[in-house]
Amino acid sequence: MLSVSLHGICLHAPHGLYPQEHVLGNDFEVDVDVFINVAHNQPWPFVDYALVQNIVTNVFEQPGQLLESFVHNIYSALKLNIANTEKIKVAVRKLHPPLNGDVRYAQVCFEG
């Protein structure tokens, strides 16, 4: 199985549950792994990193609050735009979420 990954896609966007997050915004980090079945004696497909980054960026340009929604929307767009995917893994992290105490990130991940 061939895996193509784009990790550490950094974004700043006005998303979150709390009103101040819509004003100040949050820093997010996204990891994407695309898995495609290949045969060693056949040409392997090309997965365009720029397409992956554009999909992530476009999803974050839409209004939203929940990390789960961003993961779902990224996954759905990747599945639609990249042929023959066997599996896609998407992880979205909100860095330093506005919680009591020092929390590095909150993360939602889906693999399917």
* Averaged pLDDT of the chain: 93
Q: What is the pLDDT of residues 1-43, one digit of tens each?
A: 999 999 999 999 988 877 777 788 899 999 999 999 998 888 8
Cα 40 from chain centroid (whole Å): 29
pLDDT at 27: 95
Q: Is 78 helix (H, G, I), strand (E, B) or coil?
A: helix
User: What are the domain boundaries of the chain?
Assistant: 2-111
Check if CATH label 3.30.1130.10 holds for domain 2-111: yes
Write down the pTM of the prediction: 0.92
